[in-house]
Chains A and B, each alone.
Chain A
Amino acid sequence: MLNYIWAGLIIISLVFAVSQDVMDLVQNPYQNGKEHQIEIIFPENGDPDERQTVRFRIEGHEGTFEAAWRPYTDNPEMIIRVDEEMPELWRNIAQDQDASNKEELLAEVVGFDRTTNEAAILLPKVHYVKLNAIATAAFNMAEFAVTLAIGLVGIMALWLGLMKIAEESGLMYMLVKGVQPFMRFLFPNVPRGHPAHGVISLNLAANMLGLGNAATPLGIKAMEELQKLNPSKDKATNAQCMLLTVNTASIQLLPPATLVALIGTGVNELMISILIVTFISLIVGITAAKIYERFHPEDAHDENIPDDQKIEA
């Protein structure tokens, strides 16, 4: 399933990007190749044969804009500073152009009248916007993924250390005994008294309170505990699928911090609706997982599991 969704996302992206770009080639929304008429205002005593900063007026548009004037022997060039007052077309070209600096437009001056200072310029051509965009997005997100993962190192280490102390001191054992009945229902294949039950309950508690910094590391730790019971090392067990389901559909006693930041005090009203909705989705999620469980009996060979952690029949 994940294979199809993943490939689907990539293929659909390509199809849509290509069709959008082909449509752009036909409709030419950036008016590639159009000569834009402008009037250049040189500073007093400014010599058009020298490099300088000029201002210019766009035909049929209010206001003047700044540009650097570069008089080369064949055609002069202008490096135009992008301005919010510019026509929308110009701003769109600047935004979607191939150059990395979106604040500047490099224009080629194709016609220049020294007496009236009127000029015709060509703005950069804009091609294959969407194809470039999806490629850039792919690279950026790949980088972002590493940032996210590395950001986990610290809190991950903190919680792993604490959990180890909890295990050695027997605190985990006390917790496991307390949550046993409920956990036995959700994770029937995890043996009685297994530390996984304790970590899972902490993970779920952190999740309910919206404590992201604790929920994720504890969830990973819980997955690790369940992995010790997994006979095949790269295929999920029913218990792991259940843990994932209850994590994505966790009851929320408190709204997430981002929601509070966005909606402000209005969030208090939403606490009730969120509580009810998460309760519903949790029930649905658990039911769905329980139904899937029936059709996916656990792999029988469990020789990799240490004797004291054998799955009960």
Chain B
Amino acid sequence: MRTIAAFILPLIIVLIPLYGILKKVAVYEVFVDGAKEGFTIAVRIIPYLVAILFAIGMFRESGAMEFFMMALAPVLGFLGFPVELVPMAIFRPLTGSGSVGVLAEMIATYGEDSLVVKMAGTMFGSTETTFYVIAVYFGAIGIRRVKYAVQTGLIADVAGIIASVIVVRILFG
């Protein structure tokens, strides 16, 4: 699988222009014509990304996270959800770099062979920073009213978080 992944990008990048040439397309001209949109789109994302990231940045620094962890820990512990995983579960949909930090800290504390780190790693690999994706994808096309995208994104995240705990427990527990 890793080999496929290594080959696929160069292959696509070469094959598309190659096929174009065979079909007598003015590949260079067409490429430039398509590519000129790149800057506009990236710039269009900026306000959306600023809005999301600065709010999350403030939240991260305010110490509210620690409070929620303390408040949630007993409830989740009662439900059989490992308390150590609460930071990961809260951080993951909000910030990519933040959850990397959480994971690195967990590896240092519990060791990479421990069950909680396996759960956290699975969680990290299975879920997305939903708010970032919303800002980038919808920002690029100027969508402000996102309808129910936040809900479905978060439902999928929560499903991933719960499934991580259960699946890892069954596989390695």
B49 touches A149 (CB 8 A): yes
B residues bordering A, Cβ < 8 Å?
A: 1-2, 4-5, 8-9, 12-13, 16-17, 19-20, 22-23, 25, 27, 30-39, 41-43, 45-46, 49-64, 67, 100, 103-104, 107, 112-113, 117-118, 121-128, 130-131, 133-134, 136-138, 140-153, 155-157, 159-160, 163-164, 167-168, 171-172
- A27 on interface, CB distance cutoff 8 Å: no
B8 touches A241 (CB 8 A): no
Complex Cα distance, B15 from A208, in Å, reads 20
The A/B interface has a contact count, at CB < 8 Å, of 333
A144 touches B53 (CB 8 A): yes
Q: Is the interface of A mostly helix, strand, loop or mixed?
A: helix
Chain B contacts for A243, CB-based, 8 A: 137
- A195 on interface, CB distance cutoff 8 Å: no
A280 touches B163 (CB 8 A): yes
B8 to chain A, nearest CB (A): 7
- A1 on interface, CB distance cutoff 8 Å: yes
- A100 on interface, CB distance cutoff 8 Å: no
B30 to chain A, nearest CB (A): 5
Q: Given A171-B16, A276-B163 in contact, is the A241-B148 Cβ separation under 8 Å?
A: yes
Chain A contacts for B12, CB-based, 8 A: 162, 214
A288 touches B63 (CB 8 A): no
Subset of 27 A-B contacts with CB under 8 Å: A5-B150, A9-B56, A9-B59, A10-B59, A140-B57, A142-B53, A157-B38, A160-B38, A161-B30, A162-B34, A164-B31, A209-B8, A211-B5, A220-B137, A220-B141, A224-B140, A234-B145, A236-B138, A238-B147, A240-B138, A244-B152, A244-B153, A249-B127, A258-B100, A276-B163, A277-B126, A282-B156
